[in-house]
Amino acid sequence: MSPCPPGCCCPHPGLLVLCESLDLRSLPRSVPLRTSALSVARNRLCNVDHLLRPFSSLQELSLSHNMLARFPRGLPPSLESLHLQENRITYITAGALRQLGNLTRLDLEDNRIRAIQPGALQGLNKLQVLTLKGNKLSSLPQNLPPSLTHLDLSANCISALDLPSLSALVNLQVLRINSNCLRSVPDSAFDSLPRLRSVDLTDNMWVCECDILYLYRWLLSGRLKMATDLVCTEPDHLAHRLLLNLSVMAICPRVLKPNERTRHLNLNSALERKLEMLTVEPTAQTSFENKMNVGDLSEQISKETVALFSKDVPETRVLLEHYTLETLTYEECLFLNKTQSVSPSHLKTTSSLPDEEQKCRDNVTGQHPQSNATSAEGTRSLLSTNRDAAWPTPVPQPFTQQDSAVVISLLAVLCVLVALLMLAVVLVLKQVLLRQQRVAPLDAGSGG
């Protein structure tokens, strides 16, 4: 039986040796070489390079809560569990773990790690649990071993998930990436992880806009055990609100359908000009021949809109087969507000929307009623959001000088016609009177 080092605790002499909190600056000299589990945690060790290589039976080693400035070199290849949490390690080189192919657990929590060189973890084909919590990583480590089942990256500075590194983790069951700087999750990020059963994404910097719709729908599916209280940080009008308390239209107003993948569509300049023609206020110089029928123009715009969208985006639903302002749906109206730019000075005055409809729109878009801009109201009032809503009635325009001249001319012509008619009547009456005077004397002479 091998002796236990002074001050250490040996529950199973020669197998388990605990030399913790002894203010050690170097490894104890009398540790049995056949020890399988050794803990020298909570000491003041700064360098243990190559000192542990003779321990060929060592399977579990704890060097946590020490003062190691780099990953220890020359560790025995027999190690299966290595604890290095709460040291001063700042980086991990590609060859630091080259001889540790039997590791199943590696704990690097609460160090100062800023970078892990590509391939540093690639050779750990038996590694199942990797803890990198509380470091300064800005990205997901590359070439993570596919054998991982538990990955803890919480409390770092990670701002994006690397899809190639993440998709390789086909055995991953638990993922913790809370308290980072994630703003969104790329599409299909978790679709290639068939065994994933628990994810923690809380306390990130979520931007609740269109790019987060994949995560939003993935959370709603409820397939995993996970915290769903994700809080928005942007945009400002959705800040501090829970993501799952929002509607799809509040997150991404430009979507056409909540269940279909969104894509940004832009009206071409020709179509925009025709939309402007539909809304330009007529001036005094506009001739009668230049005025177009609203229904004909809407039908013409309909054909070009369908042709444009079906050509550029075949998998996305076109606005409408018959594009008119009366049959425009609410979602399509919001879509047009996002995609076309119409100057407020070119809009004709229309009747204001009912209060209830305005509140509904404010709730959908996530904006407060008092913060609506004048130009936005003008654009929204142009395209009615109700299929059965009446056409907007324009405010009567005052008579111009040209209109007044036309009216005066018409009145003058009318007066001339009346005068001629009266003159004709007078002449007829005069002829009738003259005839009666001629006939009257003849009747008197024949009677005598």
Nearest alpha carbon to residue 17 among 327, 375, 29:
29
Q: How far is 427 from 409, CA to CA, in rounded Å?
A: 27
Q: Per residue in 365-418, pLDDT tens?
A: 444 444 444 444 444 443 334 444 444 444 445 555 667 788 888 888 999 999
Instruction: Parse the chain into domains and list their residue ranges.
Output: 269-282+291-382
pTM: 0.58
Residue 406: the pLDDT is 84
Phi and psi dihedrals of 86, rounded to 5? 60, 55
Confirm if 192 and 161 have CB atoms less than 8 A apart.
Answer: no
Residue 263: the pLDDT is 41
Q: How far is 73 from 269, CA to CA, in rounded Å?
A: 65
Q: Please identify every stretch of the chain with a pLDDT value under 70, giving residue numbers as ranges.
A: 1-2, 13, 223, 225-227, 256-402, 439-448
Query: Six-digit token pair at 54?
Result: 């003779």
Q: Per residue in 197-242, pLDDT tens?
A: 999 999 999 999 999 999 999 888 876 766 678 999 999 999 999 9
Q: Is the peptide bond before 235 cis (omega within 30 degrees of 0)?
A: yes
Q: How far is 78 from 133, CA to CA, in rounded Å?
A: 25
Exposed, middle or buried by CB within 10 Å (0-12, 13-18, 19+), for 43? buried
Residue 235: the pLDDT is 92
- Helix (H), strand (E) at residue 200: strand 198-200
Residues 6+ apart with CB under 8 A from 184: 206, 207, 209, 211, 212, 215
